[in-house]
Amino acid sequence: MKIEPEPKEASPLRILLVEDNSDDAELCSLGLKKALKDISINVVRTEDEFTSELRANEYDVILSDYSLEGWTGLEAFNHLKTGGHDVPFILVTGALGEVKAVECIKNGVSDYVLKGRLERLPVAIAKALEEKRLRAEREHAVEALQENEAKFRTLAESLPAATFIQQGTRCCYVNHAAEQITGYTKEELEDMTFWQLVHPDSRKGAVDHASKDFSRYELKILTKNSEVRWLDVTVSMFKYDDALAALITAFDISDRKHAEEGQNQHLGADPLTGLPDYTRLADVFHAESKRSERTGRSCALLLLKLIDLRKLNETHGHQVGDQALCRVARILLQCRASDTPAHLKAGEFAVVLPDTSPEGAHTLGLRIAAKVELDTKGPVLSCSIAIAMFPFDGKNVHELLDAARQRLLHSEIATIPFQTRVM
């Protein structure tokens, strides 16, 4: 299947850097351009320059030092909020005490990165942009609920996330995923409140977020069988039947939490691309396969192999080949937040796709393949992609990788240059 070019290439990531130290500004800019490539950076020093730039241009991300001459990064953030700009704001500072950091985060700052740890900045930017995207999606979901409750209920029942509508002490709605995650029936949950599920260790954090119009945080709950489970919770306030209500969506992240604890979050095992390695991929897949068995939802493994990587190395040099691998890694990191990409060996990547049907995995593979072919930051790349499904193609990551590799091997397309197929 030949992938047709998209009509319009994505624009560069627009970054505004607020920094009155020229050396720090240059160091930060160079590091970002090396890590992210397709970006544009403007630097301002003063409060007047900052407010003027906000009026004149739009930005995707704002980075700011905290201690500025005559003003602070927190004041810059307040200008942003006052102007109604929904732009991720990250502090890049030399030192920031714990109390001050907590104050900034509570005020709505997306994140903070110490100047001595600038290598963490691209990750913080990606996280802030993803949170903005998720926030926009949830706001759209709330609007859809207000416009048509029946459509929302149909959508909510198809989601893997537990969904609650809580109005005061009354639970107005729960979906089937809430029953699966908590162990309670729909009728039992409607006689409770979501907060009655919260584990005692997490109640203080839940209370801290209760007064906000929008919040996202992780907490523990106790299921009907007294099992402790971790949830990634998002709470949005909206009008329901002319009264204020909370839309609560919660993803079960218990298996991921356990896997992270076991591996000490060893996510950067591959020194070239920064992606997880095979060992980490196997741990994540094991956790997701257990969740798939418990929920009955399918889980997929996507295998991507670059075509003619050896020829690329011979023609352009190994440095260009390494850059090509990093280009693919960046594309895979732009997948869904729930997906886990890994670099297995030269030219071969894998992605764990939780809660994904064969059709969904195929569609996602086509999108990834198109992005690889349309990437213009170096020599033209081409790839082959195969999909393997759990448990039909194997019981573990090793068996699924074997199944996907066999599909690539027997497809006889690996020798066809600059043509991408997904199978």
In tens, the pLDDT along 114-132 reads 888 888 888 889 888 888 8
For residue 128, the one-letter residue type is A
CATH 3.30.450.20 fits 148-252, yes or no: yes
User: Stretch 257-262: mean pLDDT, rounded?
Assistant: 63
Which CATH fold topology does 256-422 show? Answer: Alpha-Beta Plaits (3.30.70)
All CATH 3.30.70.270 domain ranges in the chain, comma separated: 256-422
Q: How far is residue 312 CA from its own chain's centroid?
A: 31
pLDDT at residue 188 greater than cutoff 50 = yes
Between strands 67-68 and 162-167, the pairing is unpaired
Q: Which two tokens stand for residue 207?
A: 């209370």
Confidence of residue 419 (pLDDT cuts 50, 70, 90): very low
| Greater model confidence, 185 or 265 | 185
**pLDDT tens-place string over residues 52-74:** 998 899 999 999 998 888 898 88
For the chain, what is the mean pLDDT? Answer: 84
Q: For the residues 27-48, what does the mean pLDDT come to? A: 89
pLDDT digits (tens, 9 = 90+) for 276-290: 888 889 988 998 998
CB within 8 Å of 422: residues ≥ 6 apart: 1, 362, 365, 366, 369, 384, 385, 386, 387
Domain with CATH 3.40.50.2300 in the chain: 13-135
Distance CA 374, CA 7 (A): 11
CA dihedral 396→401→404→406, nearest 10 degrees, is: -110
Nearest Cα to Cα of residue 28 among 73, 87, 93: 93
pLDDT for position 2: 44
Q: Which pTM value belongs to this model?
A: 0.41
24-28, 118-122, 207-211: the lowest-pLDDT one: 207-211
Does the pLDDT value for residue 267 go beyond 50? no
CATH 3.30.450.20 range(s) for the chain read 148-252
**Separation of alpha carbons 104 and 359, rounded Å:** 43
- CATH says 13-135 is which class? alpha beta
Question: Which of 8-17, 33-42, 254-263 bottoms out in mean pLDDT, i.e. has the lowest?
Answer: 254-263
Residue-wise pLDDT tens digits, 88-117: 999 988 777 767 777 788 888 888 888 888
Distances (CA, A) of 297 to 159, 182, 358: 11, 16, 11
Q: Are 87 and 80 in contact (CB under 8 A)?
A: yes
Burial category of 45 from C-beta neighbours within 10 Å (exposed 0-12, middle 13-18, buried 19 and up):
middle
